[in-house]
Amino acid sequence: MPSIAKPRIPLAPLAHNDLGLTIRDYEGAMSTLCAGCGHDSVTAAISLAFFELSIRPRDIAKLSGIGCSSKTPTYFINGAHGFNSAHGRMAAIATGAIAAQRGLHYIGVSGDGDSLSIGLGHLSHAIRRNVDMTYIIENNGVYGLTKGQVSPSADVGSRPKKGDPNVVPPIDPMELGLALGATFLARGFSGDKDQLVPLIKAAVAHRGFALLDVISPCVSFNDHEGSTKSYRFFREHEVHEIETDFVPQRAEIRSKISSDSARAVTMHDGSVMYFRALPEGYNPTDRVSVEAYLAERKAMGEVPTGLLFLREGAPDLHDMSGTVSRPLADLDLADLCPGNDALQRLQESFR
Amino acid sequence: MEPTNTQDPSYFHRVVDCQWACPAHTNVPGYIRLISQGRFDDAYLLNRESNVFPGVLGRVCDRPCEPACRRDRVDGDPVAICRLKRVAADLAGDVRSRLPRPGTPNGKRVACVGAGPASLTVANDLAPLGYEVVILERFDRAGGLMRTNIPEFRLPAAVLDDEIAMITEMGVDVRLGAPVTSLRELLDEDYDAVFVGSGAPKPKDLVIPGRFEEVGETHIHLGIEWLESVAFGHLERIGERVLIIGVGNTAMDCCRTSLRLGGRTIKVMARRPREYFKASTWELVDAEEEGVEIVVNHAPRRFVLEEGRLVGVEFEVLEWDDGARHSVVRDTIVISCDDVVIAVGQENAFPWIERDLGIEFTEWDTPVVDSTTFASTRPGVFFGGDSALGPKNIIWAVAHGHEAALSINLHCRGEALTPRPEATMTLTSQQMGMSEWSYHNDYNPSPRQQMSHVPLAERFRELSREVELGFDPDQTAREVQRCLNCDVQTGFRADLCIECDACLDVCPVQCLTITPNGPEDEVRSRLRAPSGRPHEPLYVSDGLPQTGRVMVKDENVCVHCGLCAERCPTAAWDMVLFEMTSPFTQGSHFIPLSRVTPRVEEVRA
């Protein structure tokens, strides 16, 4: 726990976004995680992404489950709505919240334990339903809060700080997402904000379930030699072949970033994701091509990062459920609760 | 960019903006922290080591430190460094037992001409080394301009007396009423070295029509001479309507003194617009608060006399162009008055130095003095203070005195004056435990504390009534916490860094960046929060182990909160206390409390 809260220094040159807010308005309480935790960098990237997108804090809802990663929503965007759910239940709670209040930007922060062990079922169904949210897995391959047991994302052969190397094959969130029909799959690294911040922005702009697997090293229990999720190992094995730029909708006219070779995918709100550099034969909108690429890289012991798969225009939870277009909270009482007669008619229709 | 060499003390020294700006390199944050801990004796002694006259300078210093203060860049007001210096002096107890002691006589004799701040500093530094120092003073009291030119309502005599005594009590032979009329005769007395600290005692005159046509008693006075007469009690009254010509700090002292000698309508007449005034802003404010009127764009043309008696001054009313380089006369006006004080500057003058002694003079009749060693062209003769490089302020005289003492010591030991001995530094970690520091690291948003003054009605009753009351305990407690502890520096070890970004994320002013190395312009363009102050230094680390990028720190607005070090998992960052030992002679260091031997009386009691 730091000795002091990050002081507010009245410096003139602090940048303002379109709402007139500064980055300080997108911060939260001081982190109580270990010094050097990758999660704190992800927190900073989330703050920066929402600041740069000029989204009002009150239009954001942040959700989490249990674990080190799930503590982090406390550390960003104090003015946002928040829900800290039971272990692994964040995706379910988020699904309910989004069904009822579709007017907010939802960001869920979870970890490899919360999402890939206890919460794997809920995560899978949220992917299937294409729930409109940004879902970040802060992936460190270890149960840090309980002192360093291997997690379901630990690679075979990866050595914990104490004990024997892991022998159980890992769950790769990207492969899982492809198998379940996810519409936005990206992998980032807490130590590379230049890549991570645009990925978070694109995930927020995406309509549907955006799954971001962020390698976020645990400095206390998984940053040693023999770990495959340490800062050093990841830097040595990361493949940064997919270069993307996120261009917000309102900046498109003045942006000259698109080159002829770049492949553009327009998001639902008019923002554009430009793929500037792609590996030979790679098509980020084609599941088969992505699966083949990931399998090939995995066999070589490499971990590709970037926006790996993107499918815009797929029906989301609301489309599939036929929900009303307005948040329930905005409906008149008469619309929200049409009365006993309506209920009787509905029940009659099921007979 | 080349990695920054933090082994060179000047790098960290420059980060301590106040200490860097102070000519005597006073350890400002060090003594402010001691004040905050209630250690007033230590604060005073640490101060005295560099600036020799904390009580005096705590009142009347020109404060080059304050415009440099980092706090000014953060919230627009520097720490009230000068006021805090006075707090240390006001609240320190008897520090006599911890002052430097006279050294075992080394058989060397040094003469100092003039008992002003420069000569007294030389004596202060040399007496503890065993030198026999003789100070020759033309007036019958020591202090130089501190005595004669600064009125008592700004600097009480008791404060000055006490701080001079701390020096003279080391066995310095101060000969009062002993003007030096011939340097040749002085040199004939076989001193091992002579130091000239005779100041700039010659006032500049205003030679315009009517200047020398008064009959009988004169009502046209020369600023510093007039102040001298007041200081020594030779002059106790002035007319009701007084014009002060000139707008430097001496003019401010003249106008405020006039108010205390019967003056009622005091006008300070300036040639140029206000932004070109030489006086310190706070002195202007203090004078105006007392009812002095400052009139701009008026150039004196002639003294108006009737039957040989001064009745007024005729001025040209000027209109200046942008930049105040050229003016046109718009009007002429006569302002009537009873007295005029001319305060348009002063010069050094050496009618008593024979020109065939091997001491070279410039075409402006000032001595050729090395600005580093303060040696003249004749070996063994040194200059310092206003007499060396022209009129400056007390703190400069002190700085010259330190350097000259160092040179004199080298000269008397037969060593070369250059290269100069170098400053040394120590860097000490300030970490006391997990997230625990030896200093108060939080940012305190208090505004700069304002000095309380004696009510106007009471000020003019007696000349010696000190106007400023000093900070009270509450003000002191708030003001010390405004200091950003720039001497507690961010030390970085590139080899330990794992590039986790924790420090970048937690820094409240975004002064850290990890980026590929490159030319300076390019690196500056990649900073996360470009300061727009390219003259402020950048710290650039060695290549970082994992990616080869470099850690860059823009020193501009670091508030030294230590959060980077707290959030660093590998202790690559640490907060280290930078303490510089200036290459003054060893004589200027005070005695640590642990090494004070109790006097016999105390032991018996």
Provide ipTM, 2 decimals.
0.90
What was the pLDDT predicted at A257? 46
Q: What is the mean pLDDT of chain A?
A: 92
Higher pLDDT, B599 or A80: A80
Q: Is the pLDDT of residue B555 over 70?
A: yes
Q: How high is the pLDDT of residue B588?
A: 66
What's the rounded mean pLDDT across residues A26-53?
96
pLDDT of residue A225: 93
Cβ distance of B500 and A190 shorter than 8 Å: yes
Residues in A touching B441 (Cβ below 8 Å): 3-4
Whether pLDDT at B369 is above 50: yes
What's residue A142's pLDDT?
96
- Pairwise CB contact (< 8 Å): A36 & B445: no
For the cut 90, the answer to whether the pLDDT of residue B584 exceeds it is: no
Strands (E), chain A: 60-64, 81-84, 105-111, 133-139, 142-143, 149-150, 184-189, 209-215, 238-239, 243-247, 263-266, 272-277, 303-304, 306-310
Q: What was the pLDDT predicted at B79?
A: 97
Spatial contact of B303 and B209, defined as CB atoms under 8 Å apart:
yes
Specify the domain boundaries for CATH 3.50.50.60 within chain B. Answer: 100-201+348-412, 203-345
Q: Nearest CA of chain B to the CA of A138: how many Å? A: 14
Q: Which of B436, B505, B509 sits opposite A40 (nearest CB)?
A: B505
pLDDT band at A169 (very low <50, low <70, confident <90, very high): very high
From the CA of B143, how many Å to the nearest CA of chain A? 44
Q: For a pLDDT cut of 90, what percent of chain B falls above it?
A: 84
Q: Name the pLDDT band for B536 (thresholds 50, 70, 90).
A: confident
pLDDT exceeds 60 at position A256: no
| For B558, nearest residue in chain A (alpha carbons) | A9
Predicted confidence band at A144 (pLDDT cuts at 50, 70, 90)? Answer: very high
Give the pLDDT of residue B461: 85
| Predicted confidence band of residue B348 (pLDDT cuts 50, 70, 90) | confident
B548 to chain A: nearest residue by CA?
A235
Percent of chain B with pLDDT over 70: 97
Closest-approach residue (CA) in chain A for B439: A3
User: Is the pLDDT reported for residue A258 higher than 60?
Assistant: no
Residue A12 banded pLDDT, cuts 50, 70, 90: low
- Say if the Cβ atoms of B569 and A190 lie within 8 Å: no
- B349-360: average pLDDT: 93
The mean pLDDT of chain B is 92
Q: What residue ranges do the domains of chain A occupy? A: 23-321
> Looking at residue B395, what is its pLDDT?
96
User: How large is the average pLDDT for residues B567-589?
Assistant: 86
Q: How confident is the model at residue A254 (pLDDT cuts 50, 70, 90)?
A: very low
Q: Which residue has the higher pLDDT, A263 or B511?
A: B511
Which pLDDT value is given to residue B381? 97
Q: Does B436 touch chain A (CB under 8 A)?
A: yes
Q: Does B354 touch chain A (CB under 8 A)?
A: no
Q: How far apart are CA B521 and CA B519, in angstroms?
A: 6
- B513: its two tokens: 């960046």
Q: CATH second-level architecture of B100-201+348-412?
A: 3-Layer(bba) Sandwich (3.50)
Q: Do A11 and B74 touch (CB under 8 A)?
A: yes
Kindly identify which residue of chain A lies nearest to residue B531, measuring between CA atoms: A13
- Identify whether the C-beta of residue A200 lies closer than 8 Å to the C-beta of residue B511: no
Residues B425-446, mean pLDDT to the nearest whole number: 93
Contact A35 B568 (CB under 8 A): yes
* Residue B505 to residue A14, Cβ atoms within 8 A: no
Question: What is the reported pLDDT for B495?
Answer: 97
A12 touches chain B (CB under 8 A): no
Contact B546 A13 (CB under 8 A): no
* Token digits of residue A86: 């039971």
Indicate if the pLDDT at residue A26 is higher than 50.
Answer: yes
B169: β partners: none
A86: nearest Cα among A126, A60, A118, A131: A118
CA closest to B436 among chain A residues: A3
Architecture in CATH of A23-321: 3-Layer(aba) Sandwich (3.40)
User: B505, A41: Cβ pair inside 8 Å?
Assistant: yes
Rounded to 5 degrees, what angle do the CA atoms A87, A93, A97 make?
A: 160
Handedness of CA B20, B21, B22, B26 (dihedral sign): negative
Q: A104 pLDDT exceeds 50?
A: yes
Segment 172-191 of chain A within 8 Å of chain B by CB: 190-191
pLDDT tens digits, one per residue of A265-281: 888 888 888 887 888 88
Give the angle subtended at the CA of B287 by the CAs of B19 and B343, to the nearest 5°.
Answer: 85
Taking only the tens place, the pLDDT of each residue in B11-67 is: 999 999 999 999 999 999 999 999 999 999 999 999 999 999 999 999 999 999 999
- A147 close to B (CB below 8 A): no
Nearest Cα residue in chain A from B544: A232
A180 Cα to chain B: minimum distance (Å): 33
H-assigned helices in B553-597: 563-566
Backbone φ, ψ for residue B287 (5° rounding): -65, -45
The predicted structure's pLDDT at residue A253? 46
Question: A9, A138, A227, A231: best mutation site toward chain B, by most B Cβ within 10 Å?
Answer: A9
Model pLDDT for residues B140-165, shown as the tens digit of each residue: 999 999 999 999 999 999 999 999 99
Closest CB to B567: pick one of A8, A13, A35.
Answer: A35
Q: Vertex B433, ends B430 and B434: CA angle to 5°?
A: 115
What residue of B is the nearest CA neighbor of A45?
B505
**Lowest-confidence segment of A39-48, A98-107, B306-315, B456-465 by average pLDDT:** B456-465
Q: Other CB atoms closer than 10 Å to residue A148's CB: what's the count?
A: 18
Does the beta carbon of A193 lie under 8 angstroms from any beta carbon of chain B?
yes
Interchain CB distance below 8 Å, A3 and B498: no
Closest CB from A2, A10, A235 relative to B563? A2
Q: Is the pLDDT of residue B533 over 90?
A: no
pLDDT number for residue A255: 45
The 10s digit of each residue's pLDDT in A176-220 is 999 999 999 999 999 999 999 999 999 999 999 999 999 999 999
Q: Tell whether the model's pLDDT for residue B597 goes beyond 80.
A: no
Q: Which bin fits B230, alpha (ψ -120 to 50), beta or left (φ > 0)?
A: alpha
Residue B412: pLDDT over 90: yes
Which residue in B435, B484, B505 has the most chain A C-beta atoms within 10 A of its own C-beta, making it the best mutation to test that interface? B505
pLDDT at B596: 64
pLDDT at A15: 85
Paired residues of B110 in beta bridges: B133, B193
Judged by CB atoms within 8 Å, which residues 36-95 of B form the interface with A?
Answer: 74-75
CATH number of this structure's domain B203-345, picked from the four choices 3.40.50.300, 3.50.50.60, 2.40.50.100, 2.40.280.10: 3.50.50.60
Question: Under an 8 A CB cutoff, do B529 and A13 touch?
Answer: yes
Q: Tell me the shortest Cα–Cα distance from B530 to chain A, in angstroms.
A: 9
Nearest to B500 among A3, A7, A231 (CB): A231
Do B29 and B18 touch, CB atoms closer than 8 A? yes
What is the tens place of the pLDDT at every residue in A216-237? Answer: 999 999 999 999 999 999 999 9
Alpha carbon of B35 to those of B38, B39, B596: distances in Å? 5, 5, 21
